[in-house]
Amino acid sequence: MLSRYLLKKLDISAMWFLAVLAAIALLVPALNLLVPETSAFHLSTYWVVLLGKYACYALLALSVDLVWGYAGILSLGHGAFFALGGYVMGMYLMRQIGSRGVYGDPILPDFMVFLNWPELPWFWLGSDVFAFTLIMILFVPGLLAFAFGWFAFRSRVTGVYLSIITQALTYALMLAFFRNNMGFGGNNGLTDFKDILGFSLQDDGTRAALFSISIVMLMLGFIICRAIITSQFGKALIAVRDAESRVRFLGYKAESYKLFVWTVSAMMAGVAGALYVPQVGIINPSEFAPANSIETVIWVAVGGRGTLIGAVIGAVSVNFAKTWFTAALPELWLFALGTLFIVVTIFMPKGILGLFAGHKIKPFNLSIFGKKSVDAEDGGVGDNNAKSS
């Protein structure tokens, strides 16, 4: 029932996009595991891991596009939700090490033994259970986002002020997680992971499986976003983005719409972080750095804000360029990134996707809710008959 509803929300371009992702999820592991290394078509494990990282970044960009492109919330702190999901997964992976650690303690991770922690902190309890970990991957970022959004949106903090607050949030968390007494490894973070669900993280098959799971979660995230924005809720959400004061005048609680989509977006970012950690093998406070959140916004802008597909394209293309630049010309990467953002802002305001097809959101009508109409392009409010006349 739910799957049929979600599929109804997909148009032809979305179906093609999902088909391409599904093909990639099957093709990449096949080229890595089934094709001999001597073949020109063999894909090395290095590229499997790298593409897996790109898939996680794409899911993060998708979550940012959902709130920025369709709710008008410019978040400069989504890296916090990404990192929190990563830390939850990192805690589970650390507990799986057990007595194989440097100090051989079956309960305490190595950094706790080194810092003379007498026992496992209460917030680590249950972290050795995979099902509990999956729940917390959604719950921890979601709870923080809900609490933050509850106060911010009800206080009607918007625009640049909200962006600054989100940036302050991730910066505060970064400073907190750098402290050794927080119980998350301090500056070094969590690392030296061995396996997940009994499968070695160094095994090519495990890495290929993690890549495919990342693509599947990207597909699921895309379907959820499409279901939200193409529903009546999504139409009202776009109205809040374009004319929030007028939507409030019509009797809608704009803060409720923004709070819901903000929380969903944070949970998606948490899932992206959780998939990222076992593939890169480490999570530390640097993932909270505000620069990471700003870079995510650039991915969305480059690909095309308010398109979903563009966010994925932007994340992959910018990170591919980063991989090449940091290897060939590492000292020029930040200059190249800044230049790219300026060029896109001035000459390609609709991003890469806008070069091929316009993505302007069509005018919508709130009369489907029994209210007056709102035009998404000019923010006008009025009677339908008056507009037609």
CA-to-CA dists, residue 204 to 42, 273, 274, 320, 349, angstroms: 13, 21, 19, 22, 41
Cα gap 52→209, rounded to integer Å: 10
pLDDT at 74 over 70: yes
The pLDDT of residue 352 is 86
> Greater confidence, 251 or 133?
133
pLDDT at 60 over 50: yes
The pLDDT of residue 386 is 37
Q: How confident is the model at residue 328 (pLDDT cuts 50, 70, 90)?
A: confident
pLDDT digits (tens, 9 = 90+) for 341-387: 888 888 888 888 877 764 444 444 444 344 444 443 343 333 433 33
323-337: average pLDDT: 86
Sort strands 195-196 and 199-200 into parallel, antiparallel or unpaired: antiparallel
Which runs of consecutive H residues, i.e. helices, occur in 155-253? 159-177, 204-229, 232-249
Report the mean per-residue pLDDT for the chain.
88
The pLDDT of residue 309 is 94
70-81: average pLDDT: 95
Counting every residue written for the chain, the total comes to: 389
pLDDT at 86 over 80: yes
48-64: average pLDDT: 97
pLDDT at 2 over 80: no
The pLDDT of residue 361 is 43
The pLDDT of residue 202 is 94
pLDDT at 242 over 70: yes
Q: Which of 70, 5, 42, 62 lies closest to 214, judged by CA?
A: 62
Burial of 295 (0-12, 13-18, 19+ CB in 10 A): buried
The pLDDT of residue 341 is 85
The pLDDT of residue 163 is 95
The pLDDT of residue 250 is 87
The partner residues of 283 in beta bridges, in order of sequence, read 190
200-205: average pLDDT: 95
Cα gap 158→170, rounded to integer Å: 18
Burial of 137 (0-12, 13-18, 19+ CB in 10 A): buried
Q: What is the 3-state secondary structure (H, E, C) of 5-31?
A: HHHHCCCHHHHHHHHHHHHHHHHHHHH
